[in-house]
Chain A
């Protein structure tokens, strides 16, 4: 089911069955205690293959966002382990986690994605500025051209359309050549046409640059652009689907709902 693809941008260490960008083992996440206790994730094992586009789906409260946050080092699991490449995240201090996010992870969020006081270009190079590094002009130019932003670099976020803003966010997520890009409902605030365009670009970076992307979504059309869809419900991994179509995704989601009720 998992194909071995060696990303040309960065060589990933082999692990288990093939090249793995990230994995979680026996991951549980519990919020609160006593009667207020909520199990967000219950003993989940997931492999994120390198150079592939993985979508995570599930109803509200299924734990899909929690999974993404744990994978990205934004949230700490209650039990189990998270590996980014070969690095076990639970052993890292806050400071080391921050460094890791800076180096190895790119983020695209649903909204509030950009710093309003900085121009588009400054937003794109912000992670490098935070790290005190200079941007690779060649990479920056190719990213900007590929994302169709070359005419928009001097603009502030408020002067950009929603689609343009998300493209800037995507450029920012890619500019550090991260091991994995995590996207949390990136099309959630976009109309369907703009959303489709953004997904086309994500697809492009996966296909051309072997960029690993993990996207949480509840839009079946968005999920259908991925190489593989993981279905979560009630904190457990229920199903997976390779080379999905919209119909298949809808069908699996419906089955998931039935299985729950």
Chain B
């Protein structure tokens, strides 16, 4: 039997191409993802292990967030730390907001996924590894991180501008470095540029201070002991971290990040594989149908059912192994650019391909198992071929009843409808969760009911063309095998539904952002720092000096705590409320801002604060008492903590002018814009926005969702095309005689082609319409839950929907090409099976 299996594989290789391609694609996605995850996670390449102890003013052991470093280390601490027994060397680090301007006049983005921009000081440790040029030796010289250098086209010798919180510096690039952090503080936050230490202290923080110190241990000294020794000598507000522990935590963080990425990618792969399994099952059904006589003959000469089943399964396994091998090679091809991209953005990630045995075995298992399992049913059917079939006729594959499936689908649809209706009742958790559950249940119900729904839709389509025989013939053909049509339709449906859902959510979120900003911001313009830095005094003065500007109100932020919990503190000029800002106050008046603080309703509810209460906060190491004078509702730009006056900020916040400035004006908008742009010309890191522009910039985060939706749609369509090719090819094969008859009584080849193309378009239309409908429901319910907007306010991105339809139409035509051509080439005599 094995021999027959292998011979068959060779004999039918043409027909197996489709199965082969399907398995290759599935395995390529799966193995590519696994290789990618293993490669970027395995290395933790750039995380150094030479740091024994990190001394920083970080409040908690776990919390290593950059923003929460209120205090600085005096430079005098450095020699004291160096004197501790067991310490081999100290590296004082300064970092703070800074950016470097590229040749194009824009901020040159460094490696990393974070938006925040920082600069640091140069030191001769592995933290900054020089790859070109030399270290900065004084004011006017900087070294640039290698990705920033590439983005900004900066090379040693380039003259450019360095931007920082206090102003700008004209500098010359003298070196290019690679950043090698000792810990992972956020998603890849490489300093874009490095000054010499004295300059760094002056422009990034304060002279003679450091933000942290890295200590290396003398040989034989354990990091744990050294940390304890160092910690014992530290003044209040400073904490010593075990370097080995930090490196381990960073490594774990890295692996879990890589794992999350891999999980997301693998879930896409899983969808692809499930659909692929349907394809493979269809292909094998087609092969089995074609070879009914052969199986009948084998049965007639004494093969038992089990042997026939094995025969088909052996063929499937053979394809599985071959296709998996090819798929893994393609997978490496997919993984390499992904690794390059990830490592290019984030230097901490591994950049070399690691093909682990685990990934190979998993891919092999996936490829072979999916193929064999998918071939199982057709194999069983092949085994059921009666020996008498050898003597005549074909195997008629009778579609079995799908009653259980339909009943289950109907029950789920009713449940889903109830949940969705429940979701309509309110914009709060029990209702919103019900809505989301209802929408996802509906997706499952629709997949289960795909056959019935397709029938209903096709009947509707058929109504206007009742009198036109040929289009009707196509409709009837699509309905002929409901199970197969349903499988093909579901493949498209799930992909399109998820893509549409994501797109609707993203569009709704963007819309919500826009609405929030437009509701809150009355100022015609606002300026904001794009890298999380402060707007400098000089910039503020220049903005105020622009003709037509009546006011410029900075928004300043700080993090404050009560006990262990932290929340945001936002400061504005009370005069701006009403003129530049629109505040909704459920309790209190805007005047309350001058005498105390307004609390966000949700924070007040959570902490059980009410108007009139006095609250004690910890702010930059100080204890401050503030009176709650009112409550404010959700407002863009103002956070969800406490709102205080700029006077309060002047007294208790770190110095600075905030990262955002609201600009009030009485002049003509376009004139004003050019004036403001001129005022900001020297600060490429500060951008001028109208409220609408600001909202869409904020919503830029959702553009990644749109991209995922598009990619998912493309994947769904690619798989759907394969599925439709498969289904149509099978259908054409089963109808060979019928097509022959049609040709005999005068149907042109192009009419045959048109008929098959219409069939393809019908499948695409049914899958697409159902998918988009369910997708809109999904998106509407998810935005309802996440954004707390009414279901009916979901924004449907029309352009994407139209684009999806266009893409599906193209996919439908493309998918029909091969089967249609095959059908048109049907030889009438052969088809009619004379003799």
Q: Which residues of A contact B (CB under 8 A)?
A: 60, 65, 69, 72, 74-75, 94-95, 98-99, 101-103, 106-107, 109, 112-118, 122, 125-127, 129-131, 172, 184
**Which residues from A are CB-within-8-Å of B473?**
115, 117-118
How many inter-chain residue pairs (CB < 8 Å) link A and B? 77
- Given A112-B737, A112-B832, answer yes or no on A102-B746 (Cβ-Cβ < 8 Å): yes
CB distance from B678 to the nearest CB of A (A): 70
- Given A125-B469, A129-B469, answer yes or no on A75-B743 (Cβ-Cβ < 8 Å): no
Q: Which of B777-835 contact A (CB under 8 A)?
A: 828-829, 832-835
Could you tell me if B751 and A130 are in contact, using CB atoms closer than 8 angstroms? yes
**Which residues from A are CB-within-8-Å of B738?**
112, 115-116
Could you tell me if A122 and B469 are in contact, using CB atoms closer than 8 angstroms? yes
Give which listed residue, B737, B749, B833, contacts A94 with CB less than 8 A.
B749
Could you tell me if A126 and B833 are in contact, using CB atoms closer than 8 angstroms? no
**Consensus secondary structure, chain B interface:** helix
13 A-B Cβ contacts within 8 A? A65-B834, A74-B828, A98-B746, A101-B744, A102-B746, A109-B832, A112-B738, A116-B738, A118-B473, A127-B746, A129-B468, A130-B470, A184-B832
B741 interface contact, C-beta 8 A: yes
Could you tell me if B745 and A101 are in contact, using CB atoms closer than 8 angstroms? yes
Residue among A72, A125, A131, A172 having the largest count of chain B Cβ atoms under 10 Å: A131
Interface band, chain B: 20 to 34
B748 interface contact, C-beta 8 A: yes
Smallest Cβ-Cβ distance to B475: which chain A residue: A117
Q: Which residues of B contact A (CB under 8 A)?
A: 468-470, 472-473, 476-477, 480, 737-738, 741-749, 751, 828-829, 832-835
Smallest Cβ-Cβ distance to A104: which chain B residue: B746
Could you tell me if B469 and A101 are in contact, using CB atoms closer than 8 angstroms? no
C-alpha spacing A136/B750, complex, angstroms: 26
Smallest Cβ-Cβ distance to A115: which chain B residue: B738
Could you tell me if A98 and B743 are in contact, using CB atoms closer than 8 angstroms? yes
CB distance from B497 to the nearest CB of A (A): 30
C-alpha spacing A60/B835, complex, angstroms: 8
CB distance from A29 to the nearest CB of B (A): 11
**Which residues from B are CB-within-8-Å of A74?**
744, 828-829
**Which residues from A are CB-within-8-Å of B833?**
112
**Which residues from B are CB-within-8-Å of A103?**
746
**Which residues from A are CB-within-8-Å of B751?**
130
**Which residues from B are CB-within-8-Å of A114?**
741
Known: A102-B745, A118-B473. 15 other contacts (CB 8 A): A65-B834, A72-B744, A74-B829, A95-B748, A98-B746, A107-B745, A112-B737, A112-B741, A112-B833, A117-B473, A118-B472, A122-B469, A126-B745, A130-B747, A130-B751
**Which residues from B are CB-within-8-Å of A60?**
835
Residue among B476, B746, B749 having the largest count of chain A Cβ atoms under 10 Å: B746
Could you tell me if A99 and B834 are in contact, using CB atoms closer than 8 angstroms? no
Could you tell me if B834 and A184 are in contact, using CB atoms closer than 8 angstroms? yes
CB distance from B455 to the nearest CB of A (A): 13
Smallest Cβ-Cβ distance to A95: which chain B residue: B748
**Which residues from A are CB-within-8-Å of B835?**
60, 65
CB distance from A153 to the nearest CB of B (A): 14
Residue among B738, B741, B751, B833 having the largest count of chain A Cβ atoms under 10 Å: B741
CB distance from B477 to the nearest CB of A (A): 6
Could you tell me if B469 and A99 are in contact, using CB atoms closer than 8 angstroms? no
**Which residues from B are CB-within-8-Å of A75?**
829
**Which residues from A are CB-within-8-Å of B748?**
95, 98-99, 130
Smallest Cβ-Cβ distance to A98: which chain B residue: B748
**Which residues from A are CB-within-8-Å of B480?**
117
Q: Which 3 A-B pairs have the closest CB atoms?
A: A102-B746, A117-B476, A129-B469
Smallest Cβ-Cβ distance to B745: which chain A residue: A127
